[in-house]
Amino acid sequence: MKVLLVGNGGREHAIARALVRTSTPEQPVSLVVQAGNPALEQLGRSLTMDPLDPKDVVRRATSEKVDLVVVGPEAPLVAGVADAVLDYGIPVFGPTKDAARLEASKSFAKQIMADAGVATARSFTCTTMEQVEAAFDVLGAPYVVKDDALAAGKGVVVTTDRAQASSHARSCLSRDGGAVVIEDYLDGPEVSLFCFADGATVVPLQPAQDFKRVGDGNEGPNTGGMGAYSPLLWLPEEATQRIVDEVAQPVITEMARRGTPFRGVLYCGLAMTSKGIRVVEFNVRFGDPETQVVLERLDSPLAPILYAAATGTLAKVPAPVWSEDAAVTVVMASGGYPGRTDIGHPITGIEAAEALAGVHVIHAGTSEEITDALVNSGGRVLDVVARAATLDEARALAYRGVGLIHFDGEHHRSDIATWPADLAVTLD
């Protein structure tokens, strides 16, 4: 199967690695990838393309005669890349623009959940500061303020500081047509569960947990994610099926009922609250860096299941097979991240890290174009991924890998894949 993969960050490097790693002689996979990530480029034929230009993606897909287009990031989906590719009769893994509204509009996602009977935080959609302040009065602290529109990971502020909450809301509203969703704070540990969907059938992957704040102990500002692990030993076994039954399936059924079937991966961001499972957010693509650990645990071919999701045949393909192994990833970030980042520093030690059995390094923000050497070129730079028999071993191995890699200004969390000893989740 020839696959065109759109996007060139860490998530796409992890997807490409999984496609190649799980390729078999009976079902070989060849990849065409988007140029710009030196490690991703090693895994297939690389082409420059504008991922936000549907026509450009269609041009690449048709000239390369691919069997499947896989769209990694949300922005091309919201720009209508899947719609354009489908118009040319090429299967695409990733929802149409209408279905991508589940991520592109927080208020739309709330409406779908209300119509589908899915439990989420109480919320108010506001278009004026008067409405925002009234919502703060009703819901109280901590204040959860979400930009209604896509904001490249910078849309959500959770704070007990009302002035900071108001200021974020004001800046979201200052854009033409700006709106914010103010919602109740959901307590309880968060879980990311990705579900393949083909418009009707839902197939869950393995749960993972992301570490969103920049500093140890969940201190500091939100980031795109500083590390992740899977499996979640503290999560009751039946949680996955409960999430499918109570969240993913009702949403997929509701999207089909509305005439906008969802095909691709539905990322369910959930809080395991004392009152039960509650949805924090939906995304319409794989999470980053959770994908790096979830796909690392996949022991069956990835390409056929992505193709099945794209073509409405998920019910006919075997369920994915998961390793009992644990996987941990630690993100190494540039100085200044998640603020203004300090880039252009040579990176050393990747080969030494990858020489450790069970370790590989995903490139999220590296470049060989600024100088001839490999340098950091983004906020999140590398994801050191380790797979081992237990979480303790995988965590130790990932940090051994991190210790071998260096670039000026680098920082990472030192508590990835740890959780409070008294963490206990019961499903009502």
Minimum CB distance to ligand GLY smaller for 12 or for 290: 290
Eight-state DSSP code of residue 248: I
Strand 2-6 and strand 68-71: the pairing is parallel
Q: Which of residues 277-316 bind ligand GLY (CB under 6 A)?
A: 283, 287-288, 290
Footprint of ligand GLY on 79-108 (CB under 6 A):
none
- Rank residues 198 and 290 by Cβ distance to ligand GLY and give the closer one: 290
Nearby residues of 237 by Cβ (< 8 Å), 6 or more positions away: none
Q: Using an 8 Å Cβ cutoff, are 82 and 96 in contact?
A: yes
**Distance of closest approach, residue 134 Cβ to ligand GLY, in angstroms:** 29
How many whole angstroms from its chain centre is CA 86? 23
Q: Which is nearer to ligand GLY, 124 or 211 (CB)?
A: 211
Structure token pair of residue 419: 């959780």
Q: How many residues make contact with ligand GLY (CB under 6 A)?
A: 7
Tell me the backbone φ, ψ of residue 371, rounded to 5 degrees.
-135, 180
Nearest distance in Å: CB 225, ligand GLY: 3
**CB 87 → ligand GLY: shortest distance, Å?**
28
Site membership for ligand GLY, residue 365 (CB under 6 A): no
Write the binding mask 317 to 346 for ligand GLY: x where contact by CB under 6 A, - elsewhere.
------------------------------
What region, left, alpha or beta, does residue 162 occupy, with left being phi > 0 and alpha being psi -120 to 50 degrees? alpha
Min separation Cβ 35 and ligand GLY, Å: 23
Residue type, 156: V
Smallest gap from Cβ 371 to ligand GLY, in A, equals 30
- How many residues belong to the chain? 428
CB of 280 to ligand GLY, least distance (A): 11
Instruction: Work out the end-to-end distance of the chain between its first and last CA atoms, rounded to an integer number of angstroms.
Output: 44
Q: Which is nearer to ligand GLY, 156 or 374 (CB)?
A: 156
Least distance from ligand GLY to the Cβ atom of residue 222, Å = 10
Choose between 91 and 290: whose C-beta lies nearer to ligand GLY: 290
How far apart, in whole angstroms, are the C-alpha atoms of residue 281 and residue 181? 12
3-state secondary structure of 265: strand
- Residue pair 188/272 in contact by the 8 Å Cβ criterion: yes
Q: Which residues of 310-343 are buried (b: 16+ CB within 10 A; e: fewer)?
A: bbeebeebeebeeeebbbbbbbbbbbebbeebeb
Cβ 15 vs Cβ 31: under 8 Å: no
CB of 360 or CB of 380, closer to ligand GLY = 380
Amino acid identity of 64? E
Q: Which is nearer to ligand GLY, 362 or 374 (CB)?
A: 362
CB count, 10 Å around CB of 365? 22
Give me the residues paired with residue 322 across strands: 298
Task: Say if CB 204 and CB 215 are below 8 A apart.
Answer: no
Residue with smaller CB distance to ligand GLY, 73 or 320:
73
Nearer to ligand GLY, 132 or 248 (CB): 248
List the interface residues with ligand GLY, window 369-388 (CB under 6 A): none
Residue among 308, 328, 330 nearest 319 (CA): 308
Tokens of 37: 């990530």
Sketch the per residue contact string, 236 through 275, with ligand GLY: x for CB under 6 A, - otherwise.
----------------------------------------
CB nearer to ligand GLY: give 44 or 287.
Answer: 287
Q: In angstroms, give the least distance from the CB of 11 to ligand GLY.
A: 7
Which residue in 254, 249, 235, 238 sits closest to 101, CA to CA? 254
The site map against ligand GLY for 207-236 (x = CB under 6 A) is ---x-------------xx-----------
Q: Can you give the binding site for ligand GLY, defined by CB under 6 A?
A: 210, 224-225, 283, 287-288, 290
